[in-house]
Amino acid sequence: MTDDLFAPLTIRETTVRNRVMVSPMCQYSCDTDGLATDWHEVHLGSRATGGAGIVMTEATAVEPRGRITPNDLGIWSDEHAEALAPITDFIADRGATSAIQLAHAGRKASKTRPWDGSDPLSPDEGGWETLAPSATPYPYEEGRAETRKMDRDDVDGLVEDFAVAAERALDAGFDVAEVHAAHGYLLHEFLSPVTNDRDDEYGGDFEGRTRLLREVTAAVREVWPDDRPVFVRVSASDWLPDRESWTVEDTARLGPLLAEAGADLIDVSSGGVHPDQQIPQTGPNYQVRYAERVAENTDALVGAVGGITEPAQADALIRNGRADLAIVGREHLRDPYFALHAAEALGATDRVEVPVQYRRGFQ
């Protein structure tokens, strides 16, 4: 039989109840020091109640300097894991699979929240030194704290930070760990020649620029249980056609290397490394073709993102073999119960569990 949106998906020994995943979306809602709050429990828990197969946290910083804003989620201490544990318990109780996106913002760190302007924070305003493969700050931003080129100790420390964060995520009860290497954040900065002008083993050619991501993926895989999946999110293209940059073909070449390092699924997005990017088009399924290109080159599973808003659209991605997961972002902000409503629209209500408290609304 052809798989559809509500077919279970088994990755290693972890079975996801359907092919709908809540995309990692920053909430910028921590009060202090990256600790999860009631907001995170309600936000993530409602999407699990709403029928999604995988519910993933926002980008969760592996060390304090890895936050985009002071209000970002973190997992650099046992206290952070303890704050997240009730959330994973609730997600599991609702039958969904919990996932965490492990991240470091690199040179795009130390900013105010979007609704406060996304302005760079100076040290006097509570900002911090940002780290990057090269000592070049994110363009067109005045007044931010210094961007420092990472030395070898920083690089080694970062790999360790991701591994230890994964161990804490496991203690918190997560089923899936995702390495964030997209959207212009630190691991993507190492991939792209736009942001990486190093001349050591972590720069230069394709092998050098991909080395850190491969090492981080392997380090997370090493501490993650064999029966649970590791995902990696990548930006398929920098969308900078007028200069040497990271391209879709680079991403396709990277796919099998990530699988070799231990990635079970590649979550394919795009862009974010430079504000001059020129995205050729947006709209429904506008990034799906990049996931398909990656899938052509690797045995790893792929997730498709971008403009997925309708039940039939998400179902067609799976039925037509274009992706293994439909990763739904903004539509889950509009409708926490997207998966339950999709089941109604697709005539699949017998394949989802509507909470007894809500069944009057689904009859």
Task: Specify if 210 maps to a domain.
Answer: yes
Tell me the residue length of the chain: 363
pLDDT tens track, the chain, 363 positions = 579 999 999 999 999 999 999 999 999 999 979 999 999 999 999 999 999 999 999 999 999 999 999 999 999 999 999 999 999 999 999 999 999 999 999 999 999 999 999 999 988 898 999 999 999 999 977 766 689 999 999 999 999 999 999 999 999 999 999 999 999 999 999 999 999 999 999 999 999 999 999 999 999 999 999 999 999 999 999 999 989 999 999 999 999 999 999 999 999 999 999 999 998 878 899 899 999 999 999 999 999 999 999 999 999 999 999 999 999 999 999 999 999 999 999 999 999 999 999 999 887
The parent domain of residue 332 ranges over 9-362
Task: Catalogue the active-site residues.
Answer: 185
Task: Specify if 269 maps to a domain.
Answer: yes
Cα 213 from Cα 133, distance rounded (Å): 12
CATH number of the domain bearing residue 242? 3.20.20.70
Task: Specify if 227 maps to a domain.
Answer: yes
Task: Specify if 326 maps to a domain.
Answer: yes
Distances 331 to 163, 303, 311, 338, 339 between C-alpha atoms, Å: 32, 16, 11, 7, 10
Task: Specify if 85 maps to a domain.
Answer: yes
Cα 207 from Cα 259, distance rounded (Å): 15
Cα 50 from Cα 178, distance rounded (Å): 22
The number of domains in the chain is 1
Q: Token digits for 275?
A: 């504000």
Cα 71 from Cα 63, distance rounded (Å): 13
Whether the Cβ atoms of residue 145 and residue 154 lie closer than 8 Å to each other: no
Whether the Cβ atoms of residue 206 and residue 214 lie closer than 8 Å to each other: no
Task: Specify if 2 maps to a domain.
Answer: no
Task: Specify if 83 maps to a domain.
Answer: yes
Task: Specify if 1 maps to a domain.
Answer: no
Distances 277 to 10, 131, 274, 303 between C-alpha atoms, Å: 36, 22, 6, 23
CA 147 vs. chain centroid, Å, equals 23
**pTM of model > 0.75:** yes
